[in-house]
Every structure is written in C-alpha cells, then in structure tokens.
Amino acid sequence: MRKLLTITILLFTYTVGIAQPVFKVITPATPVPIGQPFTVQYIMDAAGAATFALPETHAFSFVNGPDEYVTGNNLINQVYTLVGRIEGKNILPAASIVIKGKTYYTTQNNIEILPVEGLSLKPAIPDSNGLSALLPGEDPYKKIKDHIEIKVEVNTRQCLVGQPVVATYKIYSDLSSESQIIKNPAFYGFAAVDIINLDKPVTTTETIKGKKVLVHTVRKVQLYPSQAGKYSIDPMEVLHRVTFSQSGVLHQTIKEGVTHDKPNNTKGIVYESRMASAPIVINVLPLPETNRPDTFTMAVGKFTLKATVTKTTLAKNETTQLNVELTGKGNIIQIAPPVIDWPESLEVFEPTIKDTINKEQTPLNGTRTFIYSFLSPQAGGITLPSIALTYFDADSNRYKTLHTQPIQITVDDKEFVAEKQELQQAGTVKAASRSTWLFATILLVLVIAIAVMFLSNKKEKKVIAKQKATAHLKTVDQFLAPATTVVHDEQQANSFYTLLRKGIYDYLAQYLQQPVSSTNKQNLQALLLQKNIKPAQVDKLFGIIQQCETGAFTTAALQNNKEQLLQETIDVLKAL
C-alpha cells in the first residue's frame, strides 16, 4: 500500500518538473577499418559535464577531443576522435557523470573494427624493355625501387579550420608487379570523406621521361580539420611483389624477404619490397575570433538555411517534425545541430540527421537536414521562433548569420489518439480493441488502488491481492506480437517501429500498474529507477524507444537490424 502511494506521489512530483538528466553516447552505426579514425559523441546535461571522463579501453586509441557544442535545453555534445587498435567487435565501456551527488551511466556499446583491406594491383604493361629479367649481378630490390614508387599529393599545405585538404595517393610502376596496401593512413585531426577508395582504384597510363608508366590512384580523400595546429598526413605503406625471370640469376643468392612462387617455380622468383609514401605536414590556421557570433557552429563555406514543419495544425499530443535544412558547400559533415529556443509547452525529441551530399565535389556540396520530432500536450497557438546559424565565409573572410522565418503552429483542443491511428495503419483493428480493453483495465486498477487507501487494512490487502493477480494479464511476447508479424516486411518498416514502441509502452503500463502513454520519458525513467531497475538497463530500454521513434516519426534511414532490435526489446522487457 505504501509503495503504491509512493509511486503515485512520485508521478505527481515528476510531472511538475523534475526531469531525469540526459546522458547518452552515439557510436558509429557501421564497422570501421582498423587505423581509421571515427567519432564518438556524448550528449549530457551541462550540470554533469565537469565530471565526465572518456572511459579507458585498450581496444581504442585517443586521437583528439573533445570538440564541444551546445545543443540546446542546457545540453552539451562532446565529440571525441578515436581509432581502433584491435580487429573484431570491441567494447566501448559505459561512461559516467555525477549530478547532485548521483552517478549516471551511458550504455555499453560494441564497435566493430575491420582489418585493412588488401589491394591487389596487376599492371598490364607489356615487358618490352625486358624489365622482368635480371641481368647478372643486378640487385632485384634496387630495380624494384627504381621502377616502382608511391606518392601522396595534396592540393594545399595550409588551410583554415573547416577548409578541405585533398590528399591523393598514387602508385607509379613500369614493372609487371602486384602491390598490396598493408597500412592505410589514419588522418588524425581530420574528418575524412573518400572520393576514391581501395575498393575502386582508378588506373591510367602516363608517359614519363619517354617511358610508359602505369599510375594507380588508390585513394583520394577530402580532409576537414577540426582544430588549429600542425597535423601530419600519415604515410601509406605498400608491399610490392615482383616476379623476375631466373634466366639472369644464375649465381645470385636468395636474400631474406624473397619467397618462391611455388605454382610457377620454373618461371621465376618472387621478390617482396615494402615502400611508404612520405608524410606531409598541414598547417591549419585558426578562424578569426573577432566578431564571432554565439550562433557559430563551426560551419565553413557558403550555405543557405530553411525550416519547415510536416504539419501546421495538430491535435494535442500529436507528433510532427521540424526539418531544418542547411544547403551549400563546405564542411557540411562537421556541422552540429543549431540551438533552438523551443517554447516551454512543447515536448521535443533528440534530433536525427539526414545527409544528401555529393562526396565527389570539393568542398562537399549538398544538404544536411536536422529532423526534430515534437508534440504539444496543450491546445492553442504556438510560434516556433526564428533559427539562427552562423558560418564563416573564407572568400570574404567574414562571419555570416542565416535566419529562418518563424513558423506558426495551431494545436486543436481535441486529443490525438496515437495508438488507434498507428494500429489502423498496420491493419490490426482487432489489436486496437484489445489495447483499449487493456488500457481501461489498467486504469481501473489504478483508480481502485487509490480508493483503497481510505479503506481498512483488511480490505486493502484483498484489493492488493486482486491487483497482483490481474497485473500479469499478458506476456512480453504477446505485447510484441503485432511487431513480430511485420518484422520481416520491408514495406511495413514504419509500422514495425510504431507497433514495437506501442508494445513497449503497453507492457510498461502493465508492469508499473498505471497508464504511461501520457507520462513523459523522464518521468517514466524515474518510475523504473524507483523499481530498482539498473540505470544501464533503463538506458538500453529508452535507447530502443528512441530508435522506434526515429523509425516511426521521421524519414531518417536507420542502419539497425529490425530482427535484432526486436530480440533486444524482448530481452530487456523480460529482464524487468
């Protein structure tokens, strides 16, 4: 009885404004090659930022950071650049912050590190000069060095923060050989975007000093520096294998590093030689401090800004999206979401980012869209304020600020019945009637429980016993059955996320013995923590809910596996 009263009081207390601190981590959605830098983002309440420290792990090396951005609502986004050291699925441990004496944790994440892909280059150059044959006393290693070379070219050795440096790696050869990339360069201090990568090298023929030379462009990449300083573009290491004819090697001793080509042992001997391009230092100059506005988000280039909403007339608690589109050319992949002064009456979800970018142009050209889902629990007129974003125009050496137009939203007095609409979209009317019945049952249980507070202890025990008997009306599998039926149907991807989210909320309503559809996520997290659920488990559950909302309420393309997400949901709910 006292426990139920405590939960009821907590529900009221948190409803009037006490929110669970935000603390989460965003890791790469796809595997990362070993030695290639990647970013990890930590989004946290400003109150706990001073206590945050990057978790220690031997699987990853720290490169630089944090690059810190203010994301609004008193939140801070700290971005770290790491590089993988060990192949396979490696654990990024949970991080922690301390707010008002209480410790909060992120989830533990797996990051898959892939081995560096080898690149096999087989020049189809006729050996008209007899280069594949060694003359008596001729050094095969010197011959390889004289006829094969790897170079890196850059378009500039000095730039501003956010301006691109284009690095091109080429292998020049007039020997019939095979070359394999054994160390792909890691671009510390830069955000890298490939134009030409190892999986699709470009081969051309050039005439140099009267000789035909095959030129392999094995990698061409745009590099965007995030901080001022001197940064080195790493060498690329290559292993060359050249087969020389035995006819001219009658008395030559086989040296270390030479391997016999067993399948063709009578035709020649394979010599191996390792080469590397020269490192290049890039001097990155800082952006001017003078006249730098607070709305500057490290955007460098030329841009336009536009804001639109999916719907301007809503019902109460109906979700819609604000799309903020940044279009132009520059370091678009480094630009953080703009700070928005949201009206206090709105409930706003974390933004998702969608990029439509031409990676073959320098600087990058395209659109980055920040997608915010939001709803209003109150009726009336709402004004979404003008959004400001500042970029640095290197051509004019000035900061320029863009502004969107304010947007008017009308929220009707009628209530939006999300559950019914979502189920109708999935074509499960029968499930809708079961959901309505379950919601009414749980609501009735809550009303009875509150009324029992005023009855005698004897009656109280009977009601609680009855309540416990009806608390487990359905299993986790039953709640998630509608989502399970469409998990493999790609045509109903949005319906899957909608049904999975609904199943989670319905199960939590049963688990907490009270309706949760009108309770915001911060309050719901607090109620679960009061049930002694581990913070890491609560974080994992709400990470799943966030993915469901992204898939159901936005047009962002998710990289996750729906079947795996469903299984994770089942595991988390059953663990409760």
Tokens representing residue 442 in the block: 């749980």
CATH superfamily of 1-115: Immunoglobulins (2.60.40.10)
Domain chopping of the chain, boundaries: 1-115, 140-284, 290-416, 417-575
Model confidence over 133-184: pLDDT tens digits?
Answer: 777 888 889 988 988 999 999 999 999 999 999 999 999 988 877 787 878 8
Q: What is the 3-state secondary structure (H, E, C) of 233-278?
A: ECCCEEEEEEEEEHHHCCCCCCCCCEECCHHHCCCCEEEEEEEECC
Q: How far is CA 553 from CA 475, 501, 557, in A?
A: 27, 11, 11
C-beta separation of 497 from 547 below 8 A: yes
Residues sharing a CB contact under 8 Å with residue 421, sequence separation 6 or more, in sequence order: none
Quick check: 377 pLDDT over 80?
yes
Range picked from 102-116, 146-160, 208-222, 562-576 for highest mean pLDDT:
146-160
pLDDT, residue 518, reads: 47
Quick check: 81 pLDDT over 70?
yes
Distance CA 316, CA 412 (A): 6
Residue with tokens 């249980």: 445
Residue 457 CA, chain-centre distance (Å), reads 54
The answer, as to whether pTM is greater than 0.95, is no
Closest CA to 371 of 416, 404, 338: 338
Say if strands 388-393 and 380-384 run parallel, antiparallel, or are unpaired.
unpaired
Q: Give one DSSP letter per residue of 522-557, joined into a string.
A: HHHHHHHHHTT--HHHHHHHHHHHHHHHHHHHS-PP
Quick check: 420 pLDDT over 60?
no
Distance CA 161, CA 190 (A): 10
Model confidence over 366-375: pLDDT tens digits?
Answer: 999 999 999 9
Q: How far is CA 338 from CA 292, 352, 370, 481, in A?
A: 15, 12, 9, 39
pLDDT, residue 133, reads: 76
Query: 183-214 in b/e burial notation, b at 16+ Cβ within 10 A?
Result: bbbbbebbbbbebbebeebeeeeeeeeeeebb
Tokens representing residue 254 in the block: 């086989």
Orientation of helix 493-512 relative to helix 535-553, angle to 10°: 140
132: DSSP letter: T
Tokens representing residue 444 in the block: 């009735």
Distance CA 337, CA 41 (A): 13
C-beta separation of 182 from 198 below 8 A: no
55: DSSP letter: P
pLDDT, residue 461, reads: 53
Q: Is it true that 1-115 and 290-416 share their CATH fold? A: yes
Closest CA to 529 of 38, 104, 53: 104
Higher-pLDDT residue of 96, 121: 96
Q: Coil, strand, or helix at residue 7?
A: helix
Higher-pLDDT residue of 477, 460: 477
346: DSSP letter: -
Q: What is the 3-state secondary structure (H, E, C) of 405-462?
A: CCEEEEEEEEECCHHHHHHHHCCCHHHHHHHHHHHHHHHHHHHHHHHHCCCCHHHHHH
Phi, psi of 554 (to 5 degrees): -130, 175
Number of other residues whose CB lies within 10 A of the CB of residue 122: 11
Higher-pLDDT residue of 38, 153: 153
Q: Any idea which fold 290-416 has?
A: Immunoglobulin-like (2.60.40)
56: DSSP letter: P
> What single-letter amino acid sits at 212?
K
pLDDT, residue 431, reads: 41
Tokens representing residue 260 in the block: 């016999």
pLDDT, residue 432, reads: 40
Residues sharing a CB contact under 8 Å with residue 104, sequence separation 6 or more, in sequence order: 21, 23, 48, 96, 97, 98, 535
Name beta bridge partners: 284. 159, 229
- CATH number for 140-284: choose from 3.90.1690, 3.30.390, 3.90.320, 2.60.40: 2.60.40
pLDDT, residue 116, reads: 58
Quick check: 300 pLDDT over 90?
yes
Quick check: 74 pLDDT over 90?
no
Closest CA to 480 of 466, 496, 494, 467: 496
Mean pLDDT value of segment 226-254: 72
Confidence of residue 18 (pLDDT cuts 50, 70, 90): very low
Closest CA to 117 of 184, 208, 201: 184
Q: Identify the sign of the CA torsion 274, 277, 281, 282.
A: negative
Distance CA 535, CA 544 (A): 14
Name beta bridge partners: 224. 191
pLDDT, residue 120, reads: 52
Orientation of helix 493-512 relative to helix 521-530, angle to 10°: 40
Distance CA 364, CA 223 (A): 11
Higher-pLDDT residue of 346, 438: 346
pLDDT, residue 264, reads: 40
Distance CA 469, CA 315 (A): 37
pLDDT, residue 13, reads: 41
Distance CA 286, CA 49 (A): 25
Distance CA 23, CA 543 (A): 11
CA dihedral 168, 169, 173, 176 (to 10 degrees): -120
pLDDT, residue 515, reads: 67
Quick check: 423 pLDDT over 50?
no
The rounded percent of the chain whose pLDDT value lies above 70 is 75
What does the mean pLDDT of the chain come to?
Answer: 78
The rounded percent of the chain whose pLDDT value lies above 90 is 23
Angle at 108 between CA 104 and CA 114, to 5 degrees: 150
Confidence of residue 250 (pLDDT cuts 50, 70, 90): very low
Say if strands 75-84 and 37-45 run parallel, antiparallel, or are unpaired.
antiparallel
Model confidence over 318-366: pLDDT tens digits?
Answer: 989 999 999 999 999 888 888 899 998 898 887 888 889 998 899 999 9
End-to-end CA distance of the chain: 21
Mean pLDDT value of segment 363-391: 93
